[in-house]
Amino acid sequence: MKNTLMATAATLLATSAMADVNIGNPMAMTGPIPDLNAPIAAAVDLAAANVNAQGGMFADGEAFNVIRADSACDPVAAVDAVTKLINVNGVSAIVGPVCSGATIAQAESVSMPAGVVTLSVSASSPAITSMEDGTDLVFRAAASDAYQGVALAELAIANGMSDIAVSYANDDYNAAIAAVFVEAFEGMGGTISANEAHEPNKASYRSEVATIGASSENLALFSYYGSGGITLMRNALETGAFANFIGADGMLSDELIEQLGAENLMTSTFTTSASDSSTPSFAAWQAIADEAGVPAADPFVANGYDATFMMALAIEHAGSDDREAIAESLRAIASGPGEVILPGQWAEAKAILAAGGDINYEGAAGNQDFDENGDVAGNFSKSTIVDGAWAAELIQ
């Protein structure tokens, strides 16, 4: 009798575990941007915790589980990580990765062939817009660099830069945004004095700096801070090659201040996707984040929360974690008409959906309406050094 009871209990536990909703979360825990990644991952976990604390998934309150893997901001690592998440862990959907190259590689090689939706928290390469070929399986919660590159060019012109040298890391993200910036800057009447790629993870970039340093006093640097960006900038500062620096979110990190000194970054400006802090949705997010000790305004942190919360809403809307239903439901909860749902309002959303109603999620990072390519519009901020720290100001 005892053995029968134990067997029955084991069966019930197994059935309960199988009923949980599991999503995969490939994140850049190692690689060139671990400091940028850490608070984004915390926001992902916070969204899942909010769901589970307010009734969980479906009528029986199944757990919403985030299964994390390390994509390392690397295409090969991302393919390996997502292969395991889909084929071994059996996840229903992917939230992540962080980096564009990793997102593109895993989507083309793994998630799209498997029919699994990817909702990236921060991948911003313009190449992602056209990669799906009508499959509707790749979405992102952050704006494309097709917009950020233009915003950065406008900022350079507004800062009085009529000419500029460009150095970009030879990877999917940095090469793509550099190309957008160059086209936009020239279209606004600016002169690109040099436009050179550099390879990541070199011990020194003195030769690269020497090649482009005589062409302008301004440098647009597109790189990840942890895979060459800091080293290249240090070499430029040591040689006095440039007086002014601009760039995008791959360079925006406190590690620049720690390694280069705030006093050496006074003429540096970096842009990133940002939230409009004046909106009700950001206020709701701020309260949740502050209570949990998550930095609400750090780059892509709000996007990480939004992506995870939206994926839970989409699965709840679909009524199951069946992979085929998620894409349509993702559009329905984010882009369709319905009662507005703010960050943290899981119980309210669940009740509306259970009653057959419609919802419209307004995200922590802003409007999350997806266009036909799975892209969202977005805001951008510029960060400069104020009192020894990065200070952000919304620009778009």
pLDDT by residue (tens digit) across 35-68? 999 999 999 999 999 999 999 999 999 999 999 9
> How far apart are alpha carbons 329 and 319 in whole angstroms?
9
Q: Look-up: residue for tokens 């609400």?
A: 296
* 104 and 50 part of one domain: yes
Mean pLDDT of the chain: 93
Q: What domain range is 150 assigned to?
A: 146-272
**Phi and psi torsions of 117, nearest 5°:** -70, 135
Identify each DSSP E strand in the chain by its residue range.
Answer: 21-27, 64-70, 94-95, 118-120, 138-140, 163-169, 191-198, 218-222, 244-247, 268-274, 339-341, 359-363, 366-367, 379-386, 389-394
The predicted model gives 267-281 an average pLDDT of 94
* 130 and 206 part of one domain: no
* 298 and 321 part of one domain: yes
- Whether residue 385 is contained in a domain is answered as no
* 285 and 345 part of one domain: yes
The closest alpha carbon to 327, from 372, 365, 360, 378, belongs to: 372
Reported as a single tens digit per residue, the pLDDT across 248-263 is 999 999 999 999 999 9
With pLDDT > 70 as the criterion, what percentage of the chain qualifies?
95
The predicted model gives 306-326 an average pLDDT of 97
Q: Is the pLDDT of residue 7 over 50?
A: no
Contact between residue 210 and residue 181 where contact means Cβ atoms under 8 Å apart: no
- pLDDT grade, residue 395 (50/70/90)? confident
CATH number of the domain where residue 220 is located: 3.40.50.2300
Strand order in the sheet with 359-363: 339-341, 359-363, 366-367
Reported as a single tens digit per residue, the pLDDT across 204-235 is 999 999 999 999 999 999 999 999 999 999 99
Which of 272, 294, 320 is the last residue in one of the domains? 272
Contact between residue 370 and residue 334 where contact means Cβ atoms under 8 Å apart: yes
Which of 230, 254, 272 is the last residue in one of the domains? 272
- The SS3 of residue 389 is strand
The predicted model gives 71-86 an average pLDDT of 98
Contact between residue 369 and residue 311 where contact means Cβ atoms under 8 Å apart: no
Which of 272, 288, 322 is the last residue in one of the domains? 272
Reported as a single tens digit per residue, the pLDDT across 15-40 is 344 479 999 999 999 999 999 999 99
User: What is residue 86's DSSP assignment?
Assistant: H
* 106 and 183 part of one domain: no
HSE at residue 95, side-chain half, CA atoms within 13 A, is 31
Strand order in the sheet with 118-120: 64-70, 21-27, 94-95, 118-120, 138-140
* 223 and 322 part of one domain: no
The reported pTM is 0.88
